[in-house]
Structure formats: structure tokens, C-alpha cells
Amino acid sequence: MAGSPTAAGTVVLACRDLPSGGLARLLEPFGLELREVPEGAPIPGSYWGAPEAGIRGAILFVRPDTPVHSALHEACHLICADAARRRTIDTDAGGTDLEEDGVCYFQIVLAAYLPGAGASRLMADMDSWGYSFRLGSTRAWFERDAGDARAWLVDHGLLTPEGEPTWRARA
């Protein structure tokens, strides 16, 4: 596994580490398109700059070295944005703080359905990359402090009450 190094020198799962086509298949039911750009090329729509994923409209841009957590996070911004805002997104998804929490929660949920990833690995990578939550870790937040994020996702038709994806983007 080649991974993608963090500032602290740890390695997180990168898009190149996933089985071919897995990420595109995961995003397809949501009406999202995955566009891969070559290693070393600029990533269109990247808010933080390469190797972080980029977004424009319903398109997610990644490179082989893009961290999977970044790809899922930006994809979830597109999924969680309402249809009108999604059409105009370019680089910055906008949205509320609660929507941002929903994005973080949903990326963990979707990781469980992404071959080669998984929720546990994604949460560890989020911690390594520097995501910060009140309880000190992504797992602690997800398991004990994210009820509002989960409720937001259910209220907007993205998760079932049982916590399963509905496999459609926000209307």
C-alpha cells in the first residue's frame, strides 16, 4: 500500500490503494461523477490544494495520492448539499455547521461500503490527518456524540432511521 503521508509522517489510505472502480461505483447512485487526474497534476475544485479532493457541481476530482477520507468528505459535501446549491458548487461547498457534521458522519457510513476502506480505517485516518472532535477522536465522536449529525442525515433523507444509506443525494 502506497498511501498518502500526513504532516506528522503517518500514512493514510489513498485512492490508489482502492480496488479499481470501487469509488466510482459507490458514488454512482448519488448521481456523482468521479474524475481522476494524473499524479502531480493540479486538482480542480480543491479547497485545500493537492492532494485533497476537489468538487465542482456533481463532479468529484481526485488523484492517485488523494486521501480516501478527503475523497469521501468532498463527495459527501455534494451528497448533503441541496440540489440547487449542488449545481453551483465550485471548490467551497458552503452549508451550515450541522451539515458539516452530517458530512463527517456520512463519510464514515459510506466508508463501510467502499471495498478496501472500511469505517474503522477511515476514522483512524481522519484522526491521523487532523480532524478534531470534542471527545478527542473520530470514533468517540461517531459513537457517542454525533446524534445531531445522524438526525440531520435522517431528516434530509440520506440515512434511514436504522442508519443505512438511502443511496440518493439530498433533494
3 contact partners, CB below 8 Å, separation of at least 6:
11, 12, 13, 14, 17
- pLDDT category at 58 given cuts 50, 70, 90 is very high
Quick one: which H or E segment has residue 114? none
Count of beta carbons in the 10 Å neighbourhood of residue 74: 29
Q: Which residues pair with 56 in a beta bridge?
A: 59, 90
Residue % of the chain over a pLDDT of 70? 96
pLDDT at 133: 82
All three cell numbers of 9: 509522517
How would you write 135-159 as a 3-class SS string? CCCHHHHHHHCCHHHHHHHHHCCCE
pLDDT at 8: 59
pLDDT tens-digit series, residues 59-90: 999 999 999 999 999 999 999 999 999 999 99
DSSP string, 18-62: SPTTHHHHHHGGGT-EEEE--TTS--TTBSS-TTS-EEETTEEEE
Q: What is the spatial distance between Cα 61 and Cα 120, in angstroms, rounded to a whole number?
A: 24
pLDDT tens-digit series, residues 97-108: 999 999 999 999
- pLDDT category at 134 given cuts 50, 70, 90 is confident
Lowest mean pLDDT segment, chosen from 33-42, 119-128, 129-138: 129-138
pLDDT at 155: 98
Is the pLDDT reported for residue 1 higher than 60?
no
All three cell numbers of 24: 466510482
pLDDT at 99: 97
Query: Is 117:68 a contact under the CB 8 Å cutoff?
Result: yes
pTM: 0.94
Quick one: which H or E segment has residue 132? none
The HSE-up count of residue 130 (CA atoms within 13 Å, CB side) is: 6
Residue type, 86: R
Is the pLDDT reported for residue 9 higher than 70?
no
